Structure 1
Amino acid sequence: MPTWPSPTKAEQIAVPRGIGIIAPLRIDHGFVSGGKGLYWLHTHDASGILHIEAPNALVYLLGNFFDVWGQSLASDNVAGFKGALRVYVNGKMQFAPVRDLPLKPHDQIALVIGQPSVIPVAYTFPDGL
């Protein structure tokens, strides 16, 4: 399982590659192209882009992804990082429970923990995504 770096000051940390892809991973130039299997929610690289490849039209939630990842997701604990949590979707602060955030195409979700509270910059998705 990928591990997080230990931030000592304000810094951005992306979701690791290979979350939701079952080892052994096939990695080519930093991109996980496959493994023994994969969950419908997964990451291929360290860009932080979550892929949903599901056979149905269900709405998946951020909490579902963290469950696949095996990491905590609560208002005071995100993947072991503890502190006051602010949640932004497309640059706008959200007040719904963080686990209940729906995963929608091209939404940028930023989880900001601790101080200072930094409003995330907009992300431009690569062509084809």
Structure 2
Amino acid sequence: MRDTRIDDMMPGRELDQHFANLIGYQSLTTAMNLDGSYGYTPKYSTTWEGMGEVIGEMQRRGYSYSIHNTEKGVWVQFEQWSPEYDLAGFGKSEAESAPYAVALAAIKALQGEDTTNEKNG
């Protein structure tokens, strides 16, 4: 998964599973999905409810966040500060929808990708 740029991932199951793996989420079901995969992963990148779960998880981990509307859609930033007021974690993204932008920014912050994974243009 690390060879795929986070910004190139589309909202949906793959992106949701990537975030779930980062936070240690384990599905408790073995039911087969329509796509042949197993288990349930919350729809972090496509629903408002899922977006709320991402924000809640990031807040539990000590991140603050900003969300702003832009001409392109929604811009999101997560940041975490150390006790010495040093930036300890950072991730930002801009996408067409709030849930998608939140999921992208959270993944970047958790992976320590900062802004080096942003699309140019």
**Fold conserved (TM > 0.5)?**
no
Q: TM-score, normalised by structure 2?
A: 0.33
Greater strand fraction, Structure 1 or Structure 2: 1
Q: Which has the higher contact order (CA 8 A, sep 6+)?
A: 2
Q: TM-score, normalised by structure 1?
A: 0.31
